[in-house]
Amino acid sequence: MRRDDLIHPDNLRFDLTVDPHTQERRVGKVEQFVDLSPELLALSRDRRILDPLADLYGGREPRLFKDKLIYKPPGSSVHTMHQDYNWWQGFPTSLISVLVCLDAATRANGCTELFPGYERGLLTEPGSFGNLSSREDLVDLTRVVHVEAEPGDIAFFHCFAPHRAGPNTSQQWRRQIFLTYNDSADGEHFQAHREHFNWYVTRLRTAEERARKFFR
């Protein structure tokens, strides 16, 4: 199903980039898509994802917190080092993301790079937003795990796990779905996160710019 009618620079669902060769605008990321696609909603409820999460949560069911699709076409730049919880402060720390590969992920096309061993908390000052691009000294870079994977493979990582991705220097796309869940013991936070996301991405814009933005 195509929804080209939704692709607009003021639609908060979409992060639009520019093709470095053709200068054409293209979709780089889609935030919050499960309400647009029955197939992707079904994926977010697939027991092959939920059962391992329930095991991690002591038998309790997970609750969907966030859904995101990253396209990463050829020529895409790096995703700098960060901890996801840096943008989720105030929400439960039981958040675990599930990476679902739609394409083969390789070092050439910018596979995700995880750095285990930092799952106890934030490495930056609580209350601040930002990444670790200027503080990579806080992370032991020798611990890197390159998530090289085939289509259909999945990987789980905690919200405190530092991670990054290199540029896509290949001619292949590296599309990946990221589904984030929290322990159901911590409640339901899907809508609250959506509202937080919409605030976060518009907070530095002028009132006129914010008035043009919409979520559809």
How many Å apart are CA 201 and CA 184, to the nearest integer? 27
pLDDT tens-digit readout, 144-167: 999 999 999 999 999 999 999 999
In the three-class reduction of DSSP (H, G, I as helix; E, B as strand; rest coil), residue 194 is classed as helix
Q: Is residue 33 part of a domain?
A: yes
Distance linking the first and last C-alpha atoms of the chain: 16
| Domain assignment of residue 93, given as a range | 4-202
Q: Is residue 184 part of a domain?
A: yes
How many Å apart are CA 74 and CA 173, to the nearest integer? 6
How many Å apart are CA 33 and CA 14, to the nearest integer? 10
Task: Give residue 12's pLDDT.
Answer: 85
Q: Is residue 110 part of a domain?
A: yes
Task: Give residue 201's pLDDT.
Answer: 86
The pTM of the full predicted model, rounded to 2 decimals, is 0.92
Would strands 163-165 and 79-82 be described as parallel, antiparallel, or unpaired?
antiparallel
Q: Which two tokens stand for residue 14?
A: 């979409």
Residue 45, domain CATH: 2.60.120.620
> 25 with 18: CB under 8 angstroms?
yes
Low-confidence ranges of the chain (pLDDT < 70): 1
Q: Tell me how crowded residue 21 is: count the other CB atoms within 10 A of its CB.
A: 8
Q: Is residue 209 part of a domain?
A: no
Q: Is residue 73 part of a domain?
A: yes
Q: Is residue 212 part of a domain?
A: no
What is the total count of domains within the chain? 1
User: Half-sphere exposure (CA, 13 Å, Cβ side) for 216?
Assistant: 12
How many Å apart are CA 194 and CA 66, to the nearest integer? 8
Residue whose token pair is 């394409």: 103
Rounded to 5 degrees, φ, ψ at 169 are -95, 5
Q: Is residue 39 part of a domain?
A: yes
Q: Which amino acid is at 15?
A: D
Q: Is residue 216 part of a domain?
A: no
User: Half-sphere exposure (CA, 13 Å, Cβ side) for 54?
Assistant: 10
In the three-class reduction of DSSP (H, G, I as helix; E, B as strand; rest coil), residue 60 is classed as coil
Residues contacting residue 198 through CB under 8 Å, at least 6 positions apart: 12, 213, 215
Residue whose token pair is 């200027």: 134
